[in-house]
Structure 1
Amino acid sequence: MGTGIFCVVILFVIGYGYCSKEWGTDYVEVTEPPITQNFYFSKTGESYYEALHTCIEKSMQLVSIDSAKKNRELAKIIKDSGGLHRYWTSGNNIAKGRWSWSKGEPIDYFNWDPDLPTPSSEESYYNVHKECIKIAKNEDKLYWERGFCREKNLYICEKTLKVSKSDCDATENLVQGDSQSHFKYYIAEERVTYPKAIDVCRSMCMELVSIESKQKNQDVSQAFVNANVTDTFWSSGQRRKRFGAWKWINGETANFFSWDSGEPNNKGDEYCIELFGWTKNATMLWNDQNCETKRKFVCERIFH
């Protein structure tokens, strides 16, 4: 198969256009003004947790399918590309046994395979066993299946491109730590999942905070003091599997740590780092936490 570029415009049922390289190049772009979406289709299988973080490393998110239209859209792309695999979505019942997307939104549109038992978040079995949603093509349709989150499957990442220049230029509500620091921080009041926190930060042309040194840890801690806030906050620290290396969102491996006593303990698939923002005039401590837990968060931007 060649690697040329082809463009397709679909005017029936879906009503969108996309331009992409062929399947072997992994990426598909879908445009429906004023929004452009990029999709990445993996070639290697990973667990749900690994797929979640691989997408984040690509500045993308594991795909969410919140409408029948989007389900048809993906079905068309997979059919045109010859895909016959199962792919992880971001759907899961990790948090309190309820089906939700990785950003924390409850799922109110479903498209379960009619040939399989219909899952229910009310069943005690599924409240005990964490499951995630994968999709599979069946003829011209794209149906959903449940699977244990540690299974290895291919996966789809997505990125929505719609950022306002005014959001990038805005500096109000930013807090500085040390007066000599080049960093300013946005300290959020809302509680969201780790993937959602990344999205919110990027919508403001910022990144979820990374703490690569003792000095940076002190700077963020001082920002909490200056803003007079005390709570738990997401940082960008994460790892892809239980005994994997901790990394920051820029891909750098973490070499400095400020764990609380007994941490990290990985008590229940805890692959993301939260900050204890209440240790005024002391070393700010960290904890490993399940990425689907809702926490406040800190975005950062560098100013020269």
Structure 2
Amino acid sequence: MWFIYSCLLILLFEFQVSFAAIPVDSSSYAIGRRRYYIGLDKVPCNQAVEICRRKSMRLASIRNERENNDVYRFLSQQNYNGGAFISAKILSYGNAWSWLDGTLVNYFNWNSGEPNGYDETERCVQVFIKKNTLVWDDHSTIVANSYICESMTDDDNIQIDNRIGKKYYLGNEKVTYFGAIQYCEDMYMTLASVRNAEENSALHHLILTKGIKGHRSWISANQRVGSTNWLWLNGSDVEYFNWDQGKPSNEGLGENCITVSEKEQQAKWVDAPCDEKNYAVCEKLDSKKPDSKRNIFLDVKTSDLSLKLNIDRK
């Protein structure tokens, strides 16, 4: 009966994802808690979303007056007086506007007479400076424009290790394993893989630096129910382990994900239930490494099917 129940809850999905990371341009500037970049190569708004993502950024959102003032300051510093896309887009039904993450826009600073819906294609938003403020205007989805990318300036949480060609980022909230995948995706990173002792050492240093001794953090290794093999998110076998003593134990027959924590001056690994809540270790691969298409295999519970990962299903 338990086997049948498990089969009903767990579905195997095959995903394919391609990474084409572009380093954040040196002309990006930190304003407030965000780093902004102005793309002067004019593109349609949907293409701007992808360009920002490839820079490990996102098309900017402006959720309140303070952030509107921040973008105004940024464009003023760049001496830029033209229009530029932000991520607000009108929904296909009604007159509501939403951000990239699906949340509704509840702050606006429309220019006089806007939005006017001049034609059916004006479903995006551009911003521009007018009389010492930043105003909004609805804009066509097919007419090219400049765009503003943003990223959070949480640099204090990022550990850079040039020896391994990776940047590790330690999340600041506890989430499930599947929540950790989404958390890293939202940061335009990926849940970390730890493939050798050097990378494990770098991860240990990050844990010590950020003062989370005694707490567990997710890495991306997972195990299909009923299997003894551990896989990374790209479907490759886990060949390096640094198990804590007596691990993996699979206590309760549901510990199909892996956490790391500081112990004995190392980052020790422990198998854990995937619905347990821990911090997430994200990583950004060295952008100079070759791009690759990756097959992602996951045992996903039906309750986790709402994940909005940046992936294409086969």
Per the normalisation by structure 1, the TM-score is 0.51
Note closer, same or farther for the CA distance 1:205–1:156 as it changes in structure 2 (3 Å cut): farther
Q: Tell me by how many angstroms 1:211 deviates.
A: 9.4
Quickly say closer, same or farther: Cα 1:212–1:134, change in 2 above 3 A.
Answer: same
The answer to whether the 8 Å contact 1:112/1:145 transfers is yes
User: Which of 86, 99, 103 in structure 1 is aligned with 2:101?
Assistant: 103
SS in 1 for 2:30: strand
Q: What is the CA–CA distance in structure 2 between the aligned matches of 1:151 and 1:232, rounded to whole Å? A: 32
Using a 3 Å threshold, how does the CA distance of structure 1 residues 62 and 205 change in structure 2: closer, same or farther? farther
The counterpart of 1:176, out of the listed 223, 227, 233, is: 223
Consecutive aligned runs of 4 or more in structure 1 exceeding 6 Å deviation:
none
Match of 2:88 in 1: 91
**Structure 1 match to 2:115:** 119
Instruction: Tell me, yes or no, if the aligned pair for 1:136 and 1:144 is still in contact at 8 Å.
Output: yes
Partner of 1:67: 64
Q: 1:93 to 1:150 in 2, by over 3 A?
A: same
RMSD after superposition: 3.7
Structure 2 counterparts to residues 1-304 of structure 1, below 5 A:
25-31=26-32, 36-97=33-94, 98-114=96-112, 117-119=113-115, 129=121, 131-162=123-154, 163=157, 164=170, 170-171=217-218, 175-177=222-224, 179-183=228-232, 204-206=280-282, 212=293, 216-217=295-296, 219-220=297-298, 223-224=299-300, 227=301, 231=305, 233-237=307-311, 273=312, 275=313, 286=314
Structure 2 distance, partners of 1:230, 1:77, is: 38
Equivalent residue letter for 1:212: K
* Code of the aligned partner of 2:105: I
Contact 1:26 1:42 in 2 (8 A): no
Three-state SS of the structure 2 residue aligned to 1:183 is coil
Q: Quick one: higher RCO (CA 8 Å, sep 6+), 1 or 2?
A: 2
SS in 2 for 1:103: coil
Closer, same or farther: CA 230–89 of 1 in aligned 2, 3 Å: closer
Give the drift of 1:171.
2.5
Q: Distance in 2 between matches of 1:174 and 1:166?
A: 20
CA contact (8 A) 1:55 1:62 kept: yes
Note the alpha carbon deviations across 1:25-61, whole angstroms, 9 max, x for none: 5211124xxxx32111112111111100111111111
State the alpha-carbon separation in 1 of the partners of residues 150 and 304 from structure 2.
Answer: 34
Q: Check the 8 A contact 1:94/1:130 in 2, yes or no.
A: no
Please give the per-residue CA displacement for 1:278-301, whole angstroms capped at 9, x wherever unaligned: xxxxxxxx3xxxxxxxxxxxxxxx
CA 1:229 to 1:105, structure 2 compared with 1: closer, same or farther past 3 Å? closer
CA displacement 1:98-151 (0-9 Å, x = unmatched): 21111112111111111xx2338xx8x98x646011001113111100011222
CA distance in 1, matches of 2:56, 2:40: 18
1:194 corresponds to which residue?
Answer: none
- The one-letter amino acid of 1:118's match is E
In structure 2, runs of 5+ residues without a counterpart are: 1-24, 158-169, 174-191, 193-215, 235-255, 258-278, 285-290
Return 5+ residue gaps in structure 1 as ranges: 1-23, 188-202, 238-272, 276-285, 287-304
**What's the CA shift string for 1:153-194, capped at 9, x where partnerless?**
11110001335456685139974336434315999xxxxxxx
CA contact under 8 A between 1:176 and 1:184: conserved in structure 2?
A: no
Distance in structure 2 (CA, Å) of the matches to 1:206 and 1:25: 23
Larger radius of gyration: 2
Q: Distance in 1 between matches of 2:232 and 2:66?
A: 41
* Alignment CA distance shift 1:130-1:174 (3 Å): farther
Q: CA offsets per residue over residues 80-106 of structure 1, 9 Å max, x none?
A: 321111100000013434211111121
The CA distance in 1 between the partners of 2:232 and 2:88, in whole Å, is 34
Q: What is the SS of the residue equivalent to 1:72?
A: helix
Q: For the residues of structure 1 that align with 2:304 and 2:70, how far apart are their CA atoms?
A: 43
What is the rounded CA distance, in whole Å, between the counterparts of 1:86 and 1:175 in structure 2? 45
Identity of aligned residues (%): 17
Question: CA 1:211–1:82 in 2, change beyond 3 Å: closer, same or farther?
Answer: closer
